[in-house]
Amino acid sequence: MPKNLSKIAKAKKIKYFLISFVDLFGVLRSKLVPAQAIGDMQKDGAGFAGFATWLDMTPADSDMFGVPDPDSLIQLPWNKEIGWLASDLYMDGKPVKASPRIMLKEQIKKMSQKKLQMKSGVECEYFLISEDGHSLADKRDIQSKPCYDQSALMRRYDLIKEICDCMLEMGWKPYQNDHEDANGQFEMNWDYSDSLITADRHVFFKFMVKSLAEKHGLRATFMPKPFSNLTGNGCHAHVSVWNGKINKFLDNKDQLGLSKLAYNFLGGIMNNTQALSAFFNPTINSYRRINAPPTKSGATWSPSSISYTGNNRTHMIRIPDKGRFELRLMDGSANPYLLQAGIIAAGLEGINKKLNPGKPLHCNMYEDYKKYPKLKKLPNDINQAIAMLQNSKALSKAFGSDVIKSYIKLKKSEIKNFKVRNDFNKRKPVSQWEKDNTLDC
């Protein structure tokens, strides 16, 4: 029996529910539903006009319905009257295939057919900025190497503590908070979990950080590169694959502690990275972060070549510890569901075809890249990424060619809108268009 949301509302004194979904561009959309109406909504879903969001639909399409997943319920720790729910989209009684949460669930299903589950954790970096987005909120945060700066961290104690307290209350097991490598940039880490739970939490985390920052008179942004001279907002993922309680990525006898299955999975990721950049680095602004010149702190901490290594942050994939790897490609604008779905789809191809990632490279890739001219490079801008996605048979097969076509169509219309006024140039300052369209990503 699914949980009864009406009963839960009464027991927990919830007055309103936010029935939410994320569209293809990662925008979080919701209806605010009074608890008295949640019984019917739980059965039938909340109605939305699909064309009004970033989904490939027309104004003539039927209504789509967001059917809430009761397992995703979160009572807002900072406003207990409200319960937040992730929902799955349906139209004419069928799941909307090109909706991100359903895309992820499809990949999870394919994995479970092999009796495997992916677990992951995400590291969502963000900046605290001024209301207009032109400057950092903390005028004193000006060190050239500000990473882990205690004073700048503690000037934001009230906000950081409130967010961390919320995560403690929600049972996410947060374990550390710090000032990151750019001025005004922070990161907060919580425990890894099943990929769907992590994706829902990732969506909620962004909503929570933005909401609580506003409450404290600040603005938070996950934009990949709001300031050209500073390190950008990454969204690294730590990945492992399990069968029940057994970590199938772990092999204590291997030098880096990874199993054959893990290397095949890695091979799949490396084989599909160029096309996956369209999901992992989905905005025009994303390409200021990868293949970028060094920042004020001395390093971008983001990749440019497709390579893997041991515990070394200059490569796209780092194996910091036995039994897992860290994929450092994604940025703050990545859609939380497509991030997880893309990793699974690529990893499954690697497992199915027993792909070999080659040998790990143990070098400082920021300096030594010229020694490896044959390494595949990451796309240099969104157009290249979209072209690579368009050519990817593997991803069309994994998600369905209609879904990929829809994604590309919407992305192309966005690029067209940008090009009316701008030219993408990494050496020029971040454009107003990028800020207007990405600061709230």
Mark out the alpha helices in 48-156 (DSSP H runs): 100-112, 150-154
User: How many whole angstroms separate alpha carbon 179 and alpha carbon 158?
Assistant: 14
- Per-residue tokens: 240: 């492992």
Amino acid at residue number 375: L
Least CB distance to Mg ion at residue 185 (A): 8
Q: How far is the CB of 213 from Mg ion (least distance, A)?
A: 18
Q: Please, which residue, 105 or 324, has the CB nearer to Mg ion?
A: 324
Given the complex with Mg ion, which of 23 and 187 has the nearer CB atom? 187
Q: Give whichever of 69 and 187 is closer to Mg ion, judged by the CB atom.
A: 187
Distance CA 282, CA 293 (A): 20
Compose the 277-316 pattern: x for residues touching Mg ion by CB under 5 A, - for all others. Answer: ----------------------------------------
Backbone angles phi, psi at 22, to 5 degrees: -115, 130
For the bound state, the minimum distance from the C-beta of residue 178 to Mg ion, rounded and expressed in Å, comes to 8
Give me the DSSP letters along 259-321: -HHHHHHHHHHHHHHHHHHHHHS-SGGGGGTTT----TTS---S-SB--EESS-TTSSEEEEE
Question: Smallest distance from the beta carbon of 180 to Mg ion, in angstroms?
Answer: 5
SS3 assignment, position 91: strand
Q: Which of 169, 167, 9 is nearest to 85 (CA)?
A: 9
DSSP string computed for 173-230: -EEEEEE-SSTTEEEEEE--EEHHHHHHHHHHHHHHHHHHHHHTT-EEE--S-SSTTS
Binders of Mg ion in range 166-195 (CB under 5 A): 187
Estimate the crossing angle of helix 195-215 against helix 336-353, to 10 degrees: 160
**Minimum distance, C-beta of residue 326 to Mg ion, in the bound complex (Å):** 10
Binding residues with Mg ion: total (CB under 5 A): 1
Q: Which is nearer to Mg ion, 105 or 289 (CB)?
A: 289
331 makes contact with Mg ion (CB under 5 A): no
Measured over the CA atoms of residue 85, residue 127, residue 385 and residue 323, the dihedral's sign is negative
Residue 125 beta carbon to Mg ion: minimum distance, rounded to whole angstroms: 5
Distances from the Cα of 229 to the Cα of 182, 295, 329, angstroms = 9, 5, 19
Cβ of residue 193: shortest distance to Mg ion, in angstroms? 19
CB 414 within 8 A of CB 282: no
Least separation in angstroms between residue 233's CB and Mg ion is 9
Compare residues 275 and 330 and give the one whose CB is closer to Mg ion.
330
Nearer Cβ to Mg ion (95/320): 320
223 vs 386 by CB, closer to Mg ion: 223
- Least distance in angstroms from the C-beta of 234 to Mg ion: 6
If the CB atoms of residues 34 and 294 are measured against Mg ion, the closer one turns out to be 294
Q: How far is CA 33 from CA 3, 15, 73, 76, 84, in A?
A: 17, 9, 14, 15, 10
With contact defined as beta carbons under 8 Å apart, do 45 and 99 qualify?
Answer: no
Residue with Cβ nearer Mg ion (187 or 434): 187
- Name which of 123 and 254 has its Cβ closer to Mg ion: 123
Q: How far is the CB of 432 from Mg ion (least distance, A)?
A: 27
d(CA 439, CA 129): 10
Shortest Å distance, C-beta 373 to Mg ion: 29
Nearest residue to the partner Mg ion, using Cβ = 187
* Angle at alpha carbon of residue 324, lines to 323 and 330, rounded to 5°: 175
**Nearest to Mg ion of 9, 441 (CB atom):** 441
| Contacting positions for Mg ion (CB under 5 A) | 187
